[in-house]
A and B are shown apart, each in its own frame.
Chain A
């Protein structure tokens, strides 16, 4: 079964600082990768996704992520964060294959706090 690791549980930044949130997964086969965001009091929303093609994917609100297959990583980045980016961020993976590999597996999340 696949697993997802998010290295930072809580990140605190000032506005305009650059952001990078780490995500590593364990699965040897072909994967789809996702970053979801959960703003306070709201439901999970998709930020961006990687299925195939260009490993650098751009999402909403200026976020991007880079898939590095050799490192089993899919780190999320944003050049300049805003106070409104305060939220919890979840990396998720599902794998091509059968059975439990097809489920969407989430990391434990990173709480981002942006100070005004």
Chain B
């Protein structure tokens, strides 16, 4: 069966540009998470969706970051006015119901801001 799919796998963008990262979760999973992983660090929580709504967006670093999940399936992480410090691997995970159920991770999108 299909796992969590993230596109693109790599993205290079210039400082100041806008980027969108896409996550296609496992079918039927209501919970979706975005994480950011910098070199040598563990994944850092960004935002958690339960269905269409953001149940917890406390990890978004500032208002340049925004994420949507309009139909409760695919999610898009949007970063405005990118900065070099935004360079990282952005991970998406989904789980059947959220808390208490296993999260399955995608391969990630490696974002490089030059």
Contact = CB atoms under 8 A, between A and B. Distances in A.
B contacts with A: majority SS: loop
B40 interface: yes
B105 interface: yes
A104 interface: yes
B59 interface: yes
A44 B91 contact: yes
Contacts of A45: 105
Contact of B33 (A36, A96, A104, A107): A104
Contacts of A43: 3-4, 91, 105-108
B49 to A, nearest CB: 12
A50 to B, nearest CB: 11
B14 interface: no
Contacts, number: 61
Contacts of B45: 103-105
Interface string A8-33: 00000000000000000000000010
Contacts of A67: none
Contact of B43 (A6, A42, A99, A106): A106
Contacts of A42: 107
A32 B103 CA distance: 12
A82 interface: no
Nearest to B98: A102
B27 interface: no
Interface in A60-116: 90, 92, 94, 96, 99-100, 102-109
Contact of A44 (B41, B43, B99): B43
A46 interface: yes
A90 B43 contact: yes
A5 to B, nearest CB: 11
A94 B106 contact: no
Given A103-B48, A104-B33, A104-B93, 7 more contacts: A43-B107, A43-B108, A46-B103, A92-B42, A96-B99, A100-B56, A106-B43
